[in-house]
Amino acid sequence: MNIMGALQDVWNYQLGTGGPKVWEVAQFVLIIVAAIVIARVIRTNIRRIMKERVPKNTLSNMEKLVYYTIVFVGFVIAMSTIGFSLSGLLVAGGIMGIVIGFASQTVVSNLISGLFLIIEKPIKIGDGVNIDDVAGIVEDVRILSTTIRTYDGIYTRLPNEKVFSSNIQNYVAHGARRFAYSVGIRYRDDADQAKEIITNLLESHPLVLKNPAPQVFVEELGNSSVNLKVRMWAPSTHWYGVYTEMLWKIKVALEKEGIQIPFPQRVVWFADTLKGDITTDRQA
Amino acid sequence: MFGTYNLDVHLEEEGIELRVEGTGRRRRYYRKAGGEEVEKVVYADRAKLIVCPVEPVNVPDTTISEHLLTELTTPAVIASGSRDTFYVKFPVEIGVFVVDSRDVERIDIFTKTQPKYTLYGPPERGIVCKWWKSDLYMEEPEVDRLFEGVMQVDVKNDYYQWMELHHVVFWAFDMKIFYNRHAFMHAHLTIQKRTIGETSFITHKPKNMHKAVDIYQAKGLKKLKEKYVMEWGFQ
């Protein structure tokens, strides 16, 4: 009986003068925990149900919106259990907002930038991008920061303010992209034949687009070689595989037909004829 | 080759070999076509194997495109307000599925055709499409059935001017493929403006044909939109 009484006393104990009672604090914690649990369950279900139906980026934003809305509603309800009214909370929130705004301009700047990034959508989750010389795949666009997995697998967090104010190169925003090689052949080789060999090779590759058609032309009469420019378009999502594959294939195809890629060479003229006999090893 | 089989099948046709070996719950699936070989182990009690044509956008990679652009060798000039029907050929991709009373699972897709892609529209906004070139036929053409299928296209020109048609774009998500001896699709093309048209597919199953397994429905995806709007013209 005494134990029950003691527990009841603790339960009804008031924290400070005019403060909330222990059971009210417990209720507050319980509501917050319940809100987080409910938010997580709903988020998981949204992810499971919508994964195949909506784009990854939209799904991520949807998950965040639902999650934070539920947590916020839970927080507001929980606050009312310890004596904070919603109107009081809004007033307090407004004042706090001003204080926080002045105190943490960078955070607010990141927040606003994050909102603009979500609205403008220059990048989406899964895009291959280069932001402020950080190249990789966008992992997440959060409220305060954007995370990128670089091509060598390193987790990189960029503040949204930086993302928003930097030049963003999105490699997959358009359906297709162009890339080019320079291929040098010897002066004695037939450039038209080389162009035909390369064109046929590009035609036979599935991912070198039919339209816009590939271009092969003599770009420059170089010091040691006739330089051909080879331009092609490929689907943006698969261009790198084509890029790494085709240069060597071009080299092999040209050599198969007797066309070679020359080493750098220089013709040297002597002012005076050399005196004496020069006999090479081969002649000897 | 197209049809439904028990899990002890051995098919050989035009350079394609497909077989399922073994007994009991564990079977071995083997396929050889065009120098490519695929082997998989299939665990199943009571299942059937379906071999049928599928939407021709899956090989070499399902993530590249969802559209098929058929380029006409001979362009068609269509009078304003007219309706007509012509036939084109499309590349056949062959899907192999295991199916039981609860689910359909794709285990293999292959083709005898040489895939090629193209861009429909400008680089900044266009879409990557699987590319195929076909003659335009007034009557249903003969086809090498494991290489090409037949698509009937009902075309209607609602625009007030003559239109010249060089290519048509179809959305694989919307395709309805049928088969008996060969693969068959029946499409509609409505020309609405100089650069805008709409393509869709007719769901009605032709007589004596079977409906092919729909890959997207097999994945559990619901089709909300059933038309593709060609917004980058016909030339």
Q: For B57-99, what is each residue's pLDDT tens digit?
A: 988 888 899 999 999 999 999 999 999 999 999 999 999 999 8
What integer pLDDT is reported at residue B59 of this predicted model? 85
Identify the pLDDT of residue A276: 63
pLDDT tens digit sequence for A187-227 = 999 999 999 999 999 999 999 999 999 999 999 999 889 99
If pLDDT is split at 50, 70 and 90, which confidence band does B224 have? low
| Chain CA centroid to CA A271, Å | 60
CB-based contact, B137 to chain A, within 8 Å: no
Structure tokens at A59: 């799904």
The rounded percent of chain A whose pLDDT value lies above 70 is: 89
pLDDT 10s digits, A117-161: 888 888 988 899 999 899 999 998 888 889 999 999 999 999 998
Tell me the one-letter amino acid at B65: S
B65 touches chain A (CB under 8 A): yes
User: Measured between CB atoms, does A210 come within 8 Å of chain B?
Assistant: yes
Looking at this predicted complex, what is its ipTM? 0.88
User: Average pLDDT, stretch A172-192?
Assistant: 93
* pLDDT above 60 for B160: yes
Mean pLDDT over the full length of chain B: 90
Query: B-chain residues within 8 Å CB-CB of A238?
Result: 61, 64
Q: What is the pLDDT of residues B185-209, one digit of tens each?
A: 999 999 999 899 999 999 888 888 8
Q: How confident is the model at residue A94 (pLDDT cuts 50, 70, 90)?
A: confident
Q: A224-283 pLDDT, tens per residue?
A: 899 999 999 999 989 999 999 999 999 999 999 999 989 887 778 887 766 666 666 655
Q: What is the pLDDT of residue A273?
A: 67
pLDDT of residue A284: 46
Contact list, B63 vs chain A (CB under 8 Å): 237
Does CATH number 2.30.30.60 belong to domain A121-170?
Answer: yes
SS (H, E, C) chain B: CCEEEECCCEEEECCEEEEEECCCCEEEEEEEECCEEEEEEEECCCCEEEEEEECCCCCCCCCCCCEEEEEEEEEEEECCCCEEEEEEEEECEEEEEEECCCCEEEEEEEECCCCCEEEECCCCCCEEEEEEEECCECCCCCCCCCCEEEEEEEEEECCCCCEEEEEEEEEHHHCCCEECCCEEEEEEEEECCCCCEEEEECCCCCCCCEECCCHHHHCCCCCCCCEEEECCCCC
Q: Do domains A121-170 and A176-256 have the same CATH topology?
A: no
Instruction: Give the mean pLDDT of chain A.
Output: 85
Among A56, A174, A245, pick the best mutation site for testing chain B contact (most B Cβ within 10 A).
Answer: A174
pLDDT at A103 > cutoff 70? no
- pLDDT, position A47: 82
Under the banding of pLDDT at 50, 70 and 90, the label for residue A89 is: low
The DSSP letter of residue A263 is P
pLDDT at res. A134: 92
In degrees and rounded to multiples of 5, residue B12 shows phi and psi of -140, 125
**Are A207 and B64 within 8 A, CB to CB?**
yes
Any idea where the domains of chain B sit in the sequence? Answer: 3-230
Query: Residue B113 pLDDT > 50, yes or no?
Result: yes
**Was domain A10-103 assigned CATH 1.10.287.1260?**
yes
Mean pLDDT of B131-151: 94
Structure-model confidence comparison of residues A196 and B102, the more confident one:
A196
Q: Does domain A176-256 have CATH number 3.60.20.10?
A: no
Average of per-residue pLDDT across A5-34: 82
Q: With a cut of 80, say whether residue A92 has pLDDT above it.
A: no
* A178 close contact with B: CB closer than 8 A: yes
The answer, for B56 touching chain A at a CB cutoff of 8 Å, is: no
Q: Where are the domains of chain A?
A: 10-103, 121-170, 176-256
Per-residue pLDDT, averaged over B30-48, amounts to 88
